[in-house]
Structure 1
Amino acid sequence: MEELWEDKAMKQLGAIMSSEIAETPTVFSAILENVDAFDSVKDVLIEQKIQSVLILARGTSDNAAHYLKYLIETQIGLPVGLTSPSSVTIYNAELKYKNTLVIAISQSGQSPDLVHFATSAREANAYVISMTNDDSSPLAKIAHHHFSLLAGPELAVAATKSYNAQLLVSYLLVCSWTGKKVNAAQIIAEAQRIASDAGLVAKAVVNTTRNNEIVILGRGFAYPNAREAALKIQETCKISVQGLSTADYLHGPISALTADTQVFIVAPAHMPAQSIVEATTKIRKTSNRIFWIGIGGTPSGNDIVLAGSNCDDEITSTLVDAMVLQRFAMEFAVASGFDPDAPEGLSKVTLTH
């Protein structure tokens, strides 16, 4: 196998995060080898006469939840919402969840508010599915059906391979539900190609500064990765970054755009061109500091492209391109003198109530 990328200068800073991102193709392979595990859920969901879906998550997992939300809405047509755990943990709401599917997504499966909400949802007649990286976690045990992320131990504080696993498990769940065939070989091959590209984000790193505003935009399936990219940079680089819907950006935040604003646009292969045309046209009138994450954009002039995958469609290109934004956050943190493995003020497992 081709040797995975590894910058010798990063042996100390970011070594763990670097290696965990590079493990993504192996994680994908493990999940795809167990793809038959998803078949058992399809019949149950039909029997349950599911009419609506709620997704339960926090932090990075909440960004994966947005990806799953788009999947279910576009591929199945059911209404999908994101839960508010405090409705139960603080306000003691009485849930009425008959014919409702609740999908809980969590790396650790331990946060008390998620466990409390999932328990209440099950008691309210919801069918509960969980995705965690710990089969023995409280969230895994509460669910009617649990899917393991198979990501192995994740030691860096900033989640990477577990997020990528959440995207893939979400995709496989919906593919099983709809009967869509999965191009497993292509997903793995593209992930391996991204992992092996040593200079993937180098140009973007040296051309980005912590001194000016960073905005990350995405629309549709690109939106979850825009949110996740912003979160990863905030976690590892100690700067405030906005991750926004391209459409929402035009509804107000664009007024803060200056010539120095660094705009990253998440653009996976095969994304609908019309989803970003209006925004990029308006952005170019003020700033020429534009970066593209993925190969589906419309770069011009001095734009910098962080080339992503080229899978069969936007949906699978999106889940592979998560590695690109993670690589950028990690290498930008190291270039800024920070250790992305252990950011100040953060712990691996956050327990909220």
Structure 2
Amino acid sequence: MGKHPSLMFKETGEAADAVARLLAREKPVFAEIGRLIGQRRPSVVTVAARGSSDHAVSFFKYLFEITAGIPVASIGPSVVSVYRATLNVPNGLHVTVSQSGASPDIIAVQEEAKRGGATTLAVVNVEDSPLAHAADVVLPIHAGEEKSVAATKSFIASAAALAALTQAATGEAALTGGLTQLPEMLRRVCEADCADALPMLSDAQSLYTAGRGPGFAIALEAALKAKETAKLHAEAFSLAELMHGPMQLVERGFPILAFLQEDEALSASTAALDKLKALGAGVVCFSSRAGGDTVTVPSTGYAKLDPLVAIAAYYRLIERLARERGLDPDTPERLRKVTETM
């Protein structure tokens, strides 16, 4: 690979400005969503997405369920697009997250959710898209054009949009403060030093990514990026689940990348990692809690948002690993930017 930064590298650095634009420009939409949830009081929020957008939805699921106490149910797109099921969601809220807003399967789910009685919200990067045109409410993420196949700034902006939706629904002051700090922390984290993690990964054939709560959602995204950019097999697990069957594969030197936010799950997560280290695993944590095996990331002041900061540091790590392996992280040979599925 050449010496010039990849598009993935540059676009990761643009995430901070994207989030700042989103939070500044879409205040009226967030207020509208807050009113809708307050009026409708849905017993469940349904969601549909694929790929990185689905990982943003997983992040939202943890954050929303923890703070709002309302369950979030992910609808498999094939339930409607292939199996032709009907959805009964009277008085519900259905959220679709898509960068392109063009995949037929998630459009079909949105249409069926609307027929089933839900108000539909499209979180999109392309406002002039079929998904956006058909939605009741549109929330643009303002990430701008993303040329790399690897979604970076669009993933972070989508997850930030869903975090702001959560704040609008709950009015939680601490989350408001964290969102205010998020763009600046995303700028700072681009200077994080990930070099110590590279030797562990350079010859790896497989790895685990792990976390709890919002950190697990980010681990899902990290595993996908390892596969699509560095051709490195990766599986994501909750650290609770990793203590079961998956632990059987952990041998000396087996790489584990963990996303640890300093919240209620920290002590249990740390205990699980100590057990894995005792088995010989090579562990690197992405956390605002400094340590010898940690890529230290700045905190927003709201711990459950901090995994969004950590993923930006990870993107820089996996981009560098891909380039060192002689790969172009922007153009994986078997993938393309927009995937339309049924």
Correspondences of 1:181-200 after superposition (within 5 Å)? 181=173, 182-183=176-177, 184-195=179-190, 197=191, 200=193
- Check if 1:314 corresponds to 2:303: yes
Question: TM-score, normalising length from structure 2?
Answer: 0.94
1:337 pairs with one of 313, 326, 342: 326
Determine the structure 1 residue equivalent to 2:49: 57
Q: Which runs of 5+ in 2 are unaligned?
A: none
- Check if 1:17 corresponds to 2:12: no
Q: Partner of 1:156: helix, strand, or coil?
A: coil
CA distance in 2, matches of 1:26, 1:229: 22
The Cα shift of 1:81 comes to 1.2
Correspondences of 1:21-170 after superposition (within 5 Å)? 21-37=12-28, 38-170=30-162
The answer to whether the 8 Å contact 1:219/1:246 transfers is yes
CA distance in 2, matches of 1:213, 1:316: 28
CA distance in 2, matches of 1:281, 1:77: 31
CA distance in 2, matches of 1:216, 1:209: 16
The answer to whether the 8 Å contact 1:212/1:260 transfers is no
**Partner AA of 1:215 in structure 2:** Y
CA distance in 1, matches of 2:21, 2:85: 39
- Check if 1:286 corresponds to 2:279: yes
Q: Partner of 1:265: helix, strand, or coil?
A: strand
Greater helix proportion: 2
Q: Partner of 1:135: helix, strand, or coil?
A: coil
CA distance in 2, matches of 1:9, 1:315: 37
The Cα shift of 1:177 comes to 0.9
The Cα shift of 1:137 comes to 0.9
The answer to whether the 8 Å contact 1:129/1:146 transfers is yes
Q: Partner of 1:55: helix, strand, or coil?
A: strand
The answer to whether the 8 Å contact 1:212/1:262 transfers is no
> Relative to structure 2, which stretch is displaced further, 18-27 or 267-276?
267-276
**Partner AA of 2:52 in structure 1:** T
The answer to whether the 8 Å contact 1:68/1:170 transfers is yes
CA distance in 1, matches of 2:213, 2:33: 26
The Cα shift of 1:207 comes to 3.6
Correspondences of 1:152-231 after superposition (within 5 Å)? 152-181=144-173, 182-183=176-177, 184-195=179-190, 197=191, 200-231=193-224
Determine the structure 2 residue equivalent to 1:295: 288
The answer to whether the 8 Å contact 1:149/1:169 transfers is yes
**Partner AA of 1:345 in structure 2:** R
Structure 1 residues 288 and 251, CA gap change in structure 2 (3 angstroms) = closer
CA distance in 1, matches of 2:55, 2:289: 21
CA RMSD of aligned residues (A): 1.8
CA distance in 1, matches of 2:146, 2:238: 29
Structure 1 residues 271 and 322, CA gap change in structure 2 (3 angstroms) = farther
The answer to whether the 8 Å contact 2:215/2:259 transfers is yes
**Partner AA of 2:336 in structure 1:** S
**Partner AA of 1:51 in structure 2:** S
1:258 pairs with one of 251, 259, 262: 251
The Cα shift of 1:109 comes to 0.8
The Cα shift of 1:9 comes to 5.9
Determine the structure 1 residue equivalent to 2:337: 348
> Relative to structure 2, which stretch is displaced further, 77-86 or 160-169?
77-86
The answer to whether the 8 Å contact 1:191/1:320 transfers is yes
Q: Partner of 1:276: helix, strand, or coil?
A: helix
Aligned residues: 338
